[in-house]
Amino acid sequence: MDITKLTEYFAASMYVALGLIALWGAYCVTMIWVRVAQKRFRSEAQQDAFLDAVEEPLERGDFQEASELCESDPRALPQLAYLAIENREIGYAQVRQLVVERFQRDVLADLDHRISWVNTVIKGAPMVGLLGTVTGMMGAFGKLAAAEQVKASDMANDISLALVTTALGLVIAIPLTFCLNSVNIRIRKMEDLVAVGLTRFMGSLREAIATEAMSELEEIQPVSTSE
């Protein structure tokens, strides 16, 4: 096959590959952004309002009501609180460990997975662009070798491929780098907010569990009667 035709086919594949890479990177960043928005409270005041609502039934020993308040809320802290309430029988220490592990597995691990893809796009897009650059230069030098006299206009497409693919790789990688930094900041803020809220909730749950245990102990103790 003529190297010129081969270069043209390869150029088309480079543009398609860069387009798909750009779409995948944008999709992953969007999904991370949406996921974080779904799992966090907008402010600490909103989180405190939720905790106030949950602590009220816990102080009364009404675990059912507290569980119902958490169950329908898809955000991370309510779901962790629901998990803790439903598994309170295994003991406070085990519940706390369970909640931390679930947060790491269900929320942070999913975000880390998508972040790894964004990092791959950031690193891969310039490499694909560089491959296009090499391909364009190969086409240009192939034309030089195949003809005694080559017009500059005949080499324009190959040189254009060499420059455009490099530029496209950088155009994809640079905005995604800034987006990823912004996403990482949002994730860290979410982690800090969840950690603060979880510490407060677990303290309230521990007191509620202790109160429940004392009540059960009093019920099973024989009642002494005076003679």
The predicted-structure confidence for 123-138, as pLDDT tens digits, reads as follows 999 999 888 888 777 7
Please say if the pLDDT value at position 224 is more than 50.
no
Helices (H), the chain: 3-39, 44-60, 63-71, 76-86, 92-102, 109-146, 152-220
Highest mean pLDDT among 113-117, 148-152, 157-161: 113-117
C-alpha to C-alpha distance for 118 and 51, rounded to whole angstroms: 34
Widest distance between CA atoms in the chain: 125
Please say if the pLDDT value at position 89 is more than 60.
yes
- Position 45 scores a pLDDT of 93
For 40, the token pair is 């966090």
In a domain? residue 154: yes
- Position 225 scores a pLDDT of 43
1 contacts: CB under 8 Å, gap ≥ 6: none
In a domain? residue 139: yes
Quick check: helix, strand or coil at residue 79?
helix
Please say if the pLDDT value at position 174 is more than 50.
yes
C-alpha to C-alpha distance for 189 and 54, rounded to whole angstroms: 22
Quick check: helix, strand or coil at residue 125?
helix
In a domain? residue 219: no
What is the band of 50 on the pLDDT scale with cuts at 50, 70, 90?
very high
At residue 217's C-alpha, the angle toward residues 215 and 222, to 5°, is 115
Please say if the pLDDT value at position 156 is more than 70.
no
Number of domains in the chain: 1
What burial class does residue 153 get, using C-beta atoms within 10 Å of its C-beta: 0-12 exposed, 13-18 middle, 19+ buried?
Answer: exposed
- Position 138 scores a pLDDT of 73
Q: Which residues constitute the domain of residue 53? A: 3-209
In a domain? residue 114: yes
74 contacts: CB under 8 Å, gap ≥ 6: 38, 39
In a domain? residue 225: no
In a domain? residue 222: no
In a domain? residue 176: yes
In a domain? residue 194: yes
